[in-house]
Amino acid sequence: MTDAAPQPIKTVIIVGGGTAGWMTAALLSHVFQSYRIRLIESDEIGIIGVGEATIPAIRDYNTLAGIDQVEMIRATQATFKLGIDFVGWRDGTDRYFHGFGKIGQDFMWLHTHQLWLRARAEGGGGAVRHFDHYALNCLAARQNRFTYPDPRNPLSPLAGIDYAYQFDASLFARFLRTRSEAQGVERIEGRIVDVALDGESGHVAHVVMADGRTVGGDLFVDCSGMRALLIGEALGVAYEDWNQWLLNDRALAVPCERVEPLTPYTRVTARDNGWQWRIPLQHRTGNGHVYSSNHISDDEAASVLLAGLDARPLADPRPVRFRPGKRARAWDKNVVAIGLSSGFLEPLESTSIHLIQTGIIKLLGLFPHRGFAAADIAEYNRQHDFEFTDVRDFIVAHYKVTEREDTPYWRYLRNMPIPDSLAERLDLFASSGRFYKRAAAELFRVESWVQVLLGQGFAMGYDPNAALMPADVRTPFLADIEEVIADVAARMPDHAAFIDQHCKAPPIAA
């Protein structure tokens, strides 16, 4: 005699809308058409419609969710993003670019940066051009140019160009809500005032609405933001604070008028006690100041933000408070936390939406039955821990690797102890400029690490095997890369002109 087969999930309840809630609803309803999916949100709890920058993996989400790229771009006033322009992160006067996609041309197993580092060491600083000149994404972004990748010509740098989007977060949530409801998602308007737990299992049985209604289900997805209504308040799962490495805990966001030229990148400018973002959209520019409340007051932070705008503000700055860190478990009992309820680092490398996306995809891969197997939950939480730690180390590196000590904020960051996992990675770069992925799920590739560390002045050694290419071969090899990159970038269309031709958004109704 065998045990009865586990019963399948019938009803999924998503608590909270916004980007996390509607991304979850849109993908689950597209993939799982047999489940009843209900989303609870309140019009009383608005979302901040800031300009939101993404990384290239967002295109994988669109594919999985059946979303047409051009339709999404027009609906969200989106622009394209080739990378991030860093201003003042090394010494306050510098500038470098973290571009997506491939850099140069490999020689056997040696990446371009190994040849570049050896050439710089042998010939002094003037022997080679700035590293940006060997990456198409960087050079094209500097010239405000954009086009789609061209896989038909694998030998061209255009085959390896990579891109993401910059869009209005509130418009993106609205776009996903429309899709979700068309796919059968039921939206429940109202505010949750209580969470009832099952007395035997401890699972969430139902939530209680302000008007007395109860909403029950099998699986609950907590997208309630920093409040963490289910995973934190109801189930009591602890939050791991990472403020000792990530000092910033607040942000102010404000839109301003559109600025020309329309740049295909996000700009992040280091300030005395944090940094300021600039995200160009089709209809306006999103701006924000991310800062440490222990080092600057909210009023002072607002003054810094407004003084750094490129155009007239369209609203008053709106505050956002957050705690850098992660939930000890993102899945507990019958609740999966996605978005801010599962953790938040900071928006420096545009990973917020990506971590929402990976949370949903992990849920797809480990989707439970009503028995909620412990092994599935444990694996989800293991992956959650790895992803957050991986991204944390990359972000912390931006603050640790700096020459700035001009304020107490930067002085602390430059001299702070760092996680062992990051220290080990920096030691390997210092020794030989080498990088090895520790797991397939690791987000940032060697290209990203190299651009950030070189840009911020990290003293990086090179692989001794770079000597396999003698100088009389290496010099024309690097010169050829530079020449081809420059030629291809010069032939790419203007970013704004490309949008106007292919995906221009309709005017926003007054």
The CA distance from 497 to 384, in Å, is: 40
Please, are residues 215 and 13 in contact by the beta-carbon 8 Å criterion? Answer: yes
Please, are residues 229 and 21 in contact by the beta-carbon 8 Å criterion? Answer: no
Residue 487 Cα distances to 103, 159, 317, 479, 482, angstroms: 15, 14, 42, 12, 9
Q: Is 10 a catalytic residue?
A: no
The CA distance from 91 to 114, in Å, is: 24
Name, in order, each residue with C-beta under 8 angstroms of 491's C-beta and a sequence gap of 6 or more. Answer: none
The helix (run of H) or strand (run of E) holding residue 318 is: strand 318-321
Beta bridge partners of 257: 284
Contacts 24+ apart (CB under 8 A), 407-412: 407/272, 407/273, 407/295, 408/295, 409/247, 409/272, 409/273, 409/274, 409/292, 409/295, 410/272, 412/247
The CA distance from 268 to 84, in Å, is: 7
Identify the three-state secondary structure at position 146: coil
Please, are residues 238 and 343 in contact by the beta-carbon 8 Å criterion? Answer: no
Which stretches within 193-328 are classed as H helix? 298-307
Amino acid code (one letter) for 397: A
Which stretches within 149-245 are classed as H helix? 169-182
Name, in order, each residue with C-beta under 8 angstroms of 80's C-beta and a sequence gap of 6 or more. Answer: 146, 163, 164, 165, 166, 264, 495, 498, 499
Q: Catalytic pick from 81, 102, 362, 400?
A: 81
Q: In 3D, which of 6, 36, 63 has the Cα closest to residue 361?
A: 63
Positions annotated as catalytic residues are: 81
